[in-house]
Structure 1
Amino acid sequence: MKRILAGMFASLLLAACSGSEEPPAPQAVPVKAVTVANQSIPNVIELPGRVEPVREAEVRARVTGIVQQRLYQEGTNVSAGQPLFRIDPRELRAARAQTQASLERARATAANARAVVERYRPLVAENAISQQEYDAALAASREADANVAQIRAQLEAASLQLGYTTVRAPIAGRAGRAQVTEGALVSQPEGTLMTRIEQISPVYVSFAQSASEVLALRRAVAAGDIELDENDHIEVRLRFSDGTEYPVPGYIDFRGFSVDEETGTVELRAEFPNPSGLLLPGEFVRAQIFAGQVNQGIAVPQRAVTINENGGSVFVIDDKGLAALRPVELGAMVDGRWIIESGLRPGDVVITSNLQKIQPGMPVERLKDTANGKAPPKNAGSKAR
């Protein structure tokens, strides 16, 4: 019985001792990380923009008449001078013929008047007729010549009007939908709109930047925080509404020097090549304007940033080797790099891998020192403040 009691006591003592042991420490998660450092990065201003044609022409009726035929395919490219519509020319052709007949009659009258002058010239020298009669014949000849010139001008105008019955493209570009159909009456006094032609290669993209942002940019440049391109070339890149990037960059070609009183903005415009016609007039796009270089900026790889409804956040390694969640204010994201406006300081170590496996306070082990002492690519920009 004593042996049994002693065995039970030993078992209870062993269980009590084993229960007081601390659980083993969690194993550190291996991660890759980058060390934050100040670097020179492009200053990127993000603005919404609208695509506009470089040239736009409204094709309007220059004579009054009935449309006989549409001569182009709607939505296709047309060349300058290409026929687009034909207006019934018969009435104008008859008017021109009538003016031509009047011109011939006036020429005959002028020829007869000149002949009278030639006959009177020797007679007045012989005093066979009075000087007054000769002067009257000379005036009649000059009047007949003036009448010829006037009717000739009328004939040229009639020829122009007849030529306007074939409506031609004033510029090369893409012709839009026809605004009139065969049988419609078009009017020259009203200038009936028949179609529109837009040149969309290249295209313009217009922006409106806040006057306060323009002032902040000027102050940053004056303070030396931002360095502008010495050649004054400001690159612009576009993103479509679905988030895809337009592959060809453009450049600012116009900057307004006055502030719109109603909106408080300054107008900007960039020109973009559009060889494949991806950019359509009237389309809204997001633009990244690379306005100089920020001398002291911070950028981290895209994979290091987690986006949520409250903004962005990153995991950093603290002094104890634990993962710490750090909210950050994001600027632009260009070429796989997020620009950090606030939330990180030089020397912070940002985790870039195994983000799904770590939680705040979890120990981590840095696999390799990938200190980011180099500046990001030219277009890894930041949003202007």
Structure 2
Amino acid sequence: MRIAYLIPRMVSVAVAALSVLTGCRPADPDSNPSKIAVDVVIATPSTLADVSRLTGRSDPYRSAQVRARVAGIVQKREYTEGAEVKEGELLFHIDPSQLIVNLSAAQAELTQARVTADAARDIAQRSMQLVEDHSISTQQYRKDFFAEKHALAVLQIAQAKVRDATLQLSYASVTSPISGRARRALVSEGALVGQDEGTVLTTVEQIDPIYVNFSLPVADFLELRKAQFERPDDGSLKTVRLLLGDGTRYEVPGTLEFSDSAVDPHTDTVALRAVFSNSNHLLLPGMYMQVEVTRASAGKVILIPQQALSRGAGGAYVMVENNGVARQVSVHADSLERNQWRVESGLLGGEKVILEGGALRDGQPIELKKSSAPANVNRS
């Protein structure tokens, strides 16, 4: 009876032991339900992130308005419109007839004043001798002395009038204040100029070299200034290139020369200016063109899709695939380039960046979706 009781019990123990051994068998990795299928892209350095392309407009290096400084009739234009002129070159000739008359009158007045001064000087010297002999009173001597001083003052006034009349006559020959290209004449022969104010006759512009003005967003400006302080000998940070209106590239690079001391509150940009050599006069004032400014982070910017970036309490991060698990990588990405984030630090390129990785935890097992292979980041 006891043996018959033990046999069923031993069978039950054996079945239980077999079940335990079966449960300890290693599971098939491919059938692990904890792995999450993900889409990834390959982090690739951007080819568009090395420059900022902005709109600029050219301005003359120097510009001077040529004005009539005396009133008169324009007799002749002495230059060819659009031609190069030198500093001091004659541009217009104003009728000098009245100015010559004024000079002659001033010279006659000067002669009269000089004679009067000479006579007053002789009287004063004679009075000095007579007063010493007590032949005349001291009062008469002082009167002759002050008459001499007055005559000398009148002489100085006459001399100044002659100099002024000579200067006015010289203004009848209108010359260029600077060297450059003289633009079209704004008056013609026979025009009365300088009657109430200095009439603008033409403009002379120096266009070699030439300025190009443009504005840089504040974020890019701060990045550029920091890099210039850190790398003062890096010439690329001051180099500017141009794309002309027809799509061709201007061969000669320019140099950053000026930045405004304030930010435009309406556009959140900083005004900058670059200077370019323009020996062939291809660039003309007022032309619009594309300006390419080197980014301080040139050569190390990575572009990733917007859905690959997540932000948490510790800042921005991405999840990357590493040997079958998800790894969190902190990155610095504060600006967009078209529809992609510009990652300036944290990624070196070549990493498998997980799309929609914000829901994953660091170290979580993952697998790539079989329906899509890893692809490079779109650089467009």
Shorter-normalised TM range: 0.5 to 0.7
Q: CA deviation at 1:120?
A: 1.2
2:117 aligned counterpart, secondary structure: helix
1:268 aligned counterpart, secondary structure: strand
Is residue 208 of structure 1 aligned with residue 215 of structure 2?
yes
1:296 aligned counterpart, secondary structure: coil
Is residue 259 of structure 1 aligned with residue 263 of structure 2?
yes
Summarize the alignment of residues 76-95 of structure 1 with structure 2, pairs less than 5 Å apart.
76-95=83-102
Q: Which residue of 2 aligns with 1:133?
A: 140
Change (3 A) 1:93 1:128: same
Summarize the alignment of residues 169-208 of structure 1 with structure 2, pairs less than 5 Å apart.
169-208=176-215
Give, in whole Å, the separation in 1 of the partners of 2:296 and 2:243.
20
CA contact (8 A) 1:62 1:188 kept: no
Matching residue within 279, 287, 290 for 1:286: 290
Is residue 157 of structure 1 aligned with residue 133 of structure 2?
no
Q: Which residue of 2 aligns with 1:231?
A: 233
Q: Deviations over 1:250-273 (max 9, x none)?
A: 010011121123433211000100
Q: Which residue of 2 aligns with 1:116?
A: 123
Q: CA deviation at 1:119?
A: 1.2
Change (3 A) 1:266 1:38: closer
CA contact (8 A) 1:40 1:294 kept: no
Give, in whole Å, the separation in 2 of the partners of 1:133 and 1:76.
69
Give, in whole Å, the separation in 1 of the partners of 2:200 and 2:299.
54
Change (3 A) 1:217 1:71: closer
Give, in whole Å, the separation in 2 of the partners of 1:275 and 1:36.
44
Give, in whole Å, the separation in 2 of the partners of 1:298 and 1:228.
22
2:272 aligned counterpart, secondary structure: strand
Aligned length: 279
Q: Which residue of 2 aligns with 1:346?
A: 349
Identity %: 41
1:266 aligned counterpart, secondary structure: strand
Change (3 A) 1:40 1:181: closer
Q: TM-score, normalised by structure 2?
A: 0.66
Q: CA deviation at 1:214?
A: 3.1
Q: CA deviation at 1:121?
A: 1.4
Matching residue within 107, 120, 123 for 1:100: 107
Give, in whole Å, the separation in 2 of the partners of 1:81 and 1:111.
40
Q: TM-score, normalised by structure 1?
A: 0.65
Change (3 A) 1:246 1:228: farther
Summarize the alignment of residues 136-147 of structure 1 with structure 2, pairs less than 5 Å apart.
136-147=143-154
Is residue 246 of structure 1 aligned with residue 253 of structure 2?
no
Q: Which runs of 4+ in 1 moved over 6 A?
A: 39-42
- Counterpart of 2:244, as a letter, is F
**Most deviating of 116-125 and 35-44:** 35-44
Q: Deviations over 1:273-330 (max 9, x none)?
A: 001001110000101111434363359xxxxxxxxxxxxxxxxxxxxxxxxxxxxxx9
Give, in whole Å, the separation in 2 of the partners of 1:124 and 1:83.
60
Give, in whole Å, the separation in 2 of the partners of 1:228 and 1:46.
23
CA contact (8 A) 2:90 2:176 kept: yes
Q: Which residue of 1 aligns with 2:24?
A: none
Greater share of helix: 2
Change (3 A) 1:80 1:278: same
Q: Deviations over 1:57-89 (max 9, x none)?
A: 000110000000000000000000000000000
Q: Deviations over 1:10-48 (max 9, x none)?
A: xxxxxxxxxxxxxxxxxxxxxxxxx97659998411110
Give, in whole Å, the separation in 2 of the partners of 1:128 and 1:294.
99
Give, in whole Å, the separation in 2 of the partners of 1:126 and 1:79.
67
Give, in whole Å, the separation in 2 of the partners of 1:292 and 1:259.
20
CA contact (8 A) 1:57 1:196 kept: yes
Q: Which residue of 2 aligns with 1:378?
A: none
1:209 aligned counterpart, secondary structure: strand
Give, in whole Å, the separation in 2 of the partners of 1:37 and 1:179.
58
Summarize the alignment of residues 259-278 of structure 1 with structure 2, pairs less than 5 Å apart.
259-278=263-282
Give, in whole Å, the separation in 1 of the partners of 2:243 and 2:280.
16
Root-mean-square deviation (CA, aligned residues, Å) is 3.4
